[in-house]
Structure 1
Amino acid sequence: MSIGGVPLRVVSYNVHAQRDDTATLAEVVRAARPDVVIVQEGPRRFRWRARCAALAESFGLVVGAGGLPALGNLILTNLRVRVADTYCERFPLTPGRHLRGAAFAECVVGGARFVVAGSHLATDPTERPGQAELLRKEIESARWPVIVGADLNEGPGGAAWRTIADGLTDTAVAADRADRLTYSCANPSRRIDAIFVDPRITVVDYDVVDTPQTRRASDHFPVLVDLLLPVTD
């Protein structure tokens, strides 16, 4: 345990349904040495359990929550983190659109309890605000400090972004790195991937990992944060 809190490294990463260089994807995550990875566009269809487990193993992690019940949102952890409970949310289906949802994991590390939430909001701007409202309700009901990793499909200032960010710390802003763009790897032009945290959590460092490897691994860059969690026990 560090003075002032329990250290935790978190990565939030849209892995593009593993349609790119999967070997490099695994190398990118392993090199980051995260405690928690919040995945968007993870396995959600045929043999999803085995495929989620295989993805986790390739990262050197284990499955904490999500998969098909969370419609491709997935929370992975290392063995330092204990997952005490999990739950998933599915947003109402709009005909002709992709199903969307969220994954949640109540976790314990050291003397700190916290909740990890992961989601991937719609590309349709008319759907996103409603999905953000539903996600926000779940965030507000959490018993412990929350860490939210999401592909919001819009940048800061959008209605859905404001809904999720309200009352939470935007880790990029806290680290004075809000100019770091997360999408696309081929032509970086937008910050649509974010990690938000409870104000009781200290942001130590923040990075959008832009390397030749990350440009091959997915169409999104991974977002990496180092945090200090408040002791709750």
Structure 2
Amino acid sequence: MSAVLPLPDLPASRIADDGSAVVRVLSYNIRSLRDDLGALARIVRACAPDVVCVQEAPRFFRWRKAAARLATATDLVYVTGGATACGPMVLAPLRAHVEHTEDLLLPRRPGLHQRGLATAVLRFGRTARLGVVSCHLSVNVEERLAQGRLILRQLEKQGAPHAVVAGDLNDRPDGRTFRLLAGELQDGWTTAPWGREHTTRLGDPEQRIDAVFATRGVEVLGCGVPMGLPGVTEADLRAATDHLPVLAALRVPAAG
């Protein structure tokens, strides 16, 4: 197994005197918890997130119990999503105040999986409000593009002054849907690269198909795969699931 170089951490969560907040957002496809929950939990805890956008959360038999088990293992609480969003889910620590949640089912093409969005509006401190969309997009090119357009419309409907979209896009940066989102939002890795770029499982062909995007008013302080972050080991990354996580630190302005 190759050595992993130590990775300096991103800025820690904090509320500034002006009301702005540094918010750490983690996006992670967990493959329905079919792998090593202990490894997965260690990675999530080491990332110290304020928001976790989960993809492929358990969504069938006793899915709420599985979601609670994941939240307990990661020292977080369930916010929204899971079966009600066909896989995407949002978790957060108690310091995040939940203002609103909504799970949306997306239009489905015959023969393809049902997809959905887990969405929330969270507040950090007194005035830093952040819309959140966790997504897992289609493997079909045309359906995926339509889903990307619906995500942008959903951001407008949320009414939050700032927002983040995070998830498994099933698309690469040169793809139509990735370029659509990156054209309207800030692609975290492109804006402030940190850590590793590619998000496919170690040993698989290197691709960046998972991403964190932020609206223009948000300052991206760093974004990438936290490989080498203290507490995130290569062994755990291999054991936890078949994707690598994406961690971003964002400075969210106070609402005017």
Asked whether the 8 Å contact 1:73–1:101 carries over to 2, the reply is yes
- Cα RMSD over matched residues? 1.7
Q: Percent identity?
A: 38
Q: What do the CA deviations read for 1:19-68 (whole angstroms, capped 9, x no partner)?
A: 22111111111111111100000011112222211111111100111111
Q: Alpha carbons of 1:52 and 1:166: their partners in 2 closer, same or farther (altered >3 Å)?
A: same
Superposed, 1:124-139 pairs within 5 Å as 124-139=140-155
* Residue number in structure 2 paired with 1:212: 235
Out of 206, 223, 226, the position equivalent to 2:246 is 223
1:49 match: 64
Deviates more, 1:104-113 or 1:4-13: 4-13
Match in the other structure for 2:49: 34
Question: Could you tell me which amino acid in structure 1 is paired with residue 172 of structure 2?
Answer: G
Find 2:74's aligned residue among 39, 59, 67.
Answer: 59
TM-score by length of 2: 0.86
In structure 2, the CA distance between the partners of 1:156 and 1:177, relative to structure 1 (3 Å rule), is farther
Is the contact made by 1:186 and 1:215 (CA closer than 8 Å) also made in structure 2?
A: no
Counterpart mapping for 1:82-231 below 5 A = 82-110=97-125, 111-144=127-160, 145-177=162-194, 180-210=197-227, 211-231=234-254
In structure 1, the partner of 2:35 is 20
Instruction: Report the Cα distance in structure 1 between the residues aligned to 2:187 and 2:246, rounded to whole angstroms.
Output: 12
The change in CA–CA distance for 1:87 and 1:107 in structure 2 (over 3 A counts) is same
Structure 1 residues 3 and 166, CA, compared in 2 at 3 Å: closer, same or farther? farther
Distance 1:159 1:27 in 2: 35
Aligned length: 233
Deviation at 1:162, TM superposition (A): 2.0
Uncovered stretches (5+) of structure 1, i.e. residues with no partner = none
Deviating beyond 6 angstroms after TM superposition, the runs of 4 or more aligned structure 1 residues are: none
Report the equivalent of 2:6.
none
Structure 2 Cα separation of the partners of residues 39 and 179 of structure 1: 19
